[in-house]
Amino acid sequence: MAVMVGAANAGGIGGGALLMPILLIFLKAEVYDAAPLSNFCILLSSLIRFYMTFNKQHPERPKTLQDYEVATVFMPLMMVGTSLGVIVNVMLPAAIALFLLIIVVTFMVY
């Protein structure tokens, strides 16, 4: 699992869509346990990636590799989505949450 997260992180994605099915199928985790564990793995991989690249310069522009302007645009939207997801996750039964997760992952794969 650590190798998969590392490869996903090197490719520029967090790997959450890959971690959820692995946690559900192979580790037999419940949906309510797998989602926070997946988010924690993404957080750790993001912190490691940030630490490794935080002083590196962009090869073509005089700025760092992190684009903080993009973060200021995406972070409020991510916080709203996360808050709504937590509220919906608490209200719905596990089967419906799993069905919605399958729909989202299928759409992402497509």
DSSP states of the chain as a string? -HHHHHHHHHTTS--HHHHHHHHHHTS---HHHHHHHHHHHHHHHHHHHHHHHTTPBPSSSSSBSS-HHHHHHHHHHHHHHHHHHHHHHHHS-HHHHHHHHHHHHHHHH-
Using alpha carbons, select from 11, 2, 92 the residue that is nearest to residue 19: 2
pLDDT at residue 80, as a whole number? 92
69-101 residue pLDDT tens: 887 888 888 889 888 888 887 888 888 888 888
List phi, psi (to 5°) of 55. -105, -5
Give the whole-angstrom CA distance, residue 47 versus residue 9.
11
Q: Which residues of the chain have pLDDT under 70?
A: 11-14, 16
The model scores a pTM over 0.85: no
